[in-house]
Amino acid sequence: MFRVCFLGRLQKALHVFAFSFLIFVACDSSNEKLYNVRGVVESVRSEDAQIIISHEEVPDLMPAMTMNFDIASPSLLAGLNPGDEIEFELLFNGRAYVIQSLTKIGKVSSNKEPLKLASLDEFLPSFTLVNQHGEMIDSRDFEKKVLVLDFIYTNCPGPCPVSTSVGVSVRHLLEDIKDNFVFCSISLDPSRDTPEALSEYAKARGAEFDNWQFLTGDLKTIEGLVSALGVARIGNSAGEFEHTLVRFLVDGKGRIRNRLLGAKYNPEEISRTIRRGVASFGQK
């Protein structure tokens, strides 16, 4: 009996060690790499410490696209406006894309109206979509749980897989309260992201399906959600989508209670935010 208990504890300890080691490797500073990039400012969000840039291809990292970036210091945004052409130094550490420095080099005309990201206390529109098992999922199914909502697509060249992998780490850190919250990742590319494609994408990154829904479905429904939440979704000729990197925390009544914009948050920070949400506005 003692031997069985000992082996069980040893197995659990090894599992915790292995998981901790994976997080350490993912965040190891030796994985950091700097890239010199050129682009045009689309929007400046000083309140969120974010900048949206339409940038050129970054060899060995990502294709040309429009994307929101984290910044190393809020002072980098001083004096920046939409239409500013910039050169910037981009740090990628395996998890986040952070601008370390930037220089204005010119100005291009810009008539675009920046999207306004949904504010705190706004309500999530109701929706019905299909999950990775081919089951119909209604937003009302998430009542009395904290909903952690983001947008992905399976052919994404970089940010989506990174974000999902971070979510997997968060899920492990919140094993003790998994019944009080649910992850919901909605596809931006429903024509290609079938339930089977979403299931394959999720399994490849170690996602657990007991409290994680990967959703696809009617394009009109998804476009309505994206528009209502102020999330950018811009397709290009290569079949890729430029989109806003953001996680919304939504309470059981469908009200947005927090926004995690960008990829700067590590699994520990995100898990603490969800844990606080479950304690303060979960099951209400």
Residue ranges and CATH numbers for the domains of the chain are 30-107 (2.40.50.320), 128-281 (3.40.30.10)
Q: How open is the CA angle 45-47-48, to the nearest 5 degrees?
A: 70
Residue whose tokens read 């399906």: 209
Asked whether the whole model's pTM tops 0.85, one would answer no
Distances (CA, A) of 105 to 7, 84, 90, 249, 264: 63, 8, 16, 38, 26
Average pLDDT across the chain, whole number: 85
pLDDT for 168-204, tens place per residue? Answer: 999 999 999 999 999 999 999 999 999 999 999 999 9
- Token readout for 18 is 């292995």
Task: Provide the 3-class DSSP secondary structure of residue 130.
Answer: strand
- The single-letter code of the amino acid at 161 is P
Number of other residues whose CB lies within 10 A of the CB of residue 209: 14
The helix/strand count (H/E) of the chain reads as: 5, 14
Nearest alpha-carbon partner for 181 in 283, 260, 258: 283
Mean pLDDT of 35-54: 88
